[in-house]
Homo-oligomer: A and B are copies of this chain.
Amino acid sequence: MSVTAAAGFRAAGVAAGVKSSGGPDVALVVNDGPLDAAAAVFTSNRAKANPVLWSQQAIAGGSARAVILNSGGANCFTGAFGFQTTHQTAERVAERLGIGAIDVQVCSTGLIGVGDEAFRAAVLHGVDLAADALAAGDEAGLAAAEAIMTTDSKPKQAVAAGDGFTVGGMAKGAGMLAPGLATMLVVLTTDAEADADVLDRALRAATRTTFDRLDSDGCMSTNDTVLLLASGAAGVRPDEAALTAAVTAVCDGLARQLHGDAEGATHDIAIEVRHAASEDDAVVVARSVARSNLFKAAIFGNDPNWGRVLAAIGTTDAAFDPYAVDVHFNGVRVCHAGEPDRPREEVDLAPRATSIVIDLFAGDESATVRTNDLTHDYVHENSAYAS
């Protein structure tokens, strides 16, 4: 049900000593073909980790045979030594699999600044262990998904069945979940036949409405990578719409799991903006609320504080009249036409799933951005992470 659900893929997850905890920390995913088409989306942060700098170049030709991933260190801002580590990692994988280093995507996650001699040695050791452990099937896929976890409380996997083909995937990410991409590593696999340009369009269409609308804490990572590999092993070439739908389904499933596992959260908040003049406007308005610490703290306190919603959306330049909007908390319209409506006592914010609907009365477009509340545990986890 994971990265190994599609035919033509093997995976492994091993404990190689990158993490001081001794837990699993290196994963390998291999595409046995016959195709090797691939597409990727990387963080839009200008501060990119060494594995991102490597992988962007390596995938420029639209193909990839393997993905090596480690948790326990981001290998970001580690200089020339860190880039050499990434390069050596790709070469070690290539050597073990009999492919070229250019065919290897590298992903890292963990603390920025971590990437010394000990890190390099552990990751290279992990390549050997993972190459030995490669296998098809659910168990291997799960092992890979577990090896990329950092503060994640559980592994994240999803699968979608198309007409004669399968798309599967795994993801990690629990904090620094923000725009462009949430802080995440995602590997998607399919046994469909598809060219790189089709994969690229399908992947960008899917991430645009899923991961790009997950905004847990407004912080964009240096290491975000979403990969899509096609083996063609199913012998089926779906039309682009069908492939895009399946990829989107898997991305949506993984995005929801990331949303539900955000660090320290007690509410999973869906902010839906209706009747916007454009889809961009809807996203901008929803994101302004997702970025409001005051709003997010209010939700933690089960407080239907619609004033903080209006204060947030008023900071955008989207086309709407701030004095004409409706705001619903969990189905109760607490603000109508910019004035108080139903009493706050009618709103029950106890459930984890939280629905905010903002009706702009400005057009026909809509969008939903997902975020989490701002909690004591968020502060605790993120003030203690490095120590």
A residues whose Cβ falls under 8 Å from a Cβ of B: 44-48, 74, 76-79, 111-113, 175-176, 179, 217-222, 291-294, 297-298, 300-301, 303, 305-308, 310-316, 322-323, 335, 337-340, 344, 374-376, 378-380, 382-387
Contact = CB atoms under 8 A, between A and B. Distances in A.
A111 B382 contact: no
| Chain A at the B interface: SS class | loop
A314 B178 CA distance: 13
Given A376-B380, A379-B379, A46 B314 contact: yes
B79 A219 contact: no
Nearest to A218: B293
Nearest to A297: B382
Contacts of A385: 298, 303, 305
Contact of A312 (B219, B292, B322, B379): B219
What's the number of copies of this chain in the assembled complex? 2
A77 B301 contact: no
B218 A303 contact: no
Contacts of A305: 112, 385-386
Given A221-B311, A315-B220, A297 B379 contact: yes
A337 B74 CA distance: 18
A150 to B, nearest CB: 13
Contact of A375 (B218, B300, B379): B379
Contacts of A218: 291-293
Contact of A294 (B44, B74, B176, B311): B176
Contacts of A340: 77-78, 113
Contact of A314 (B45, B382, B383, B386): B45
Given A44-B315, A112-B307, 19 more contacts: A45-B315, A46-B315, A47-B314, A47-B322, A79-B337, A112-B308, A112-B310, A112-B311, A113-B340, A176-B294, A218-B292, A219-B292, A219-B294, A219-B308, A220-B314, A298-B386, A301-B382, A374-B383, A376-B379
A74 B111 CA distance: 43
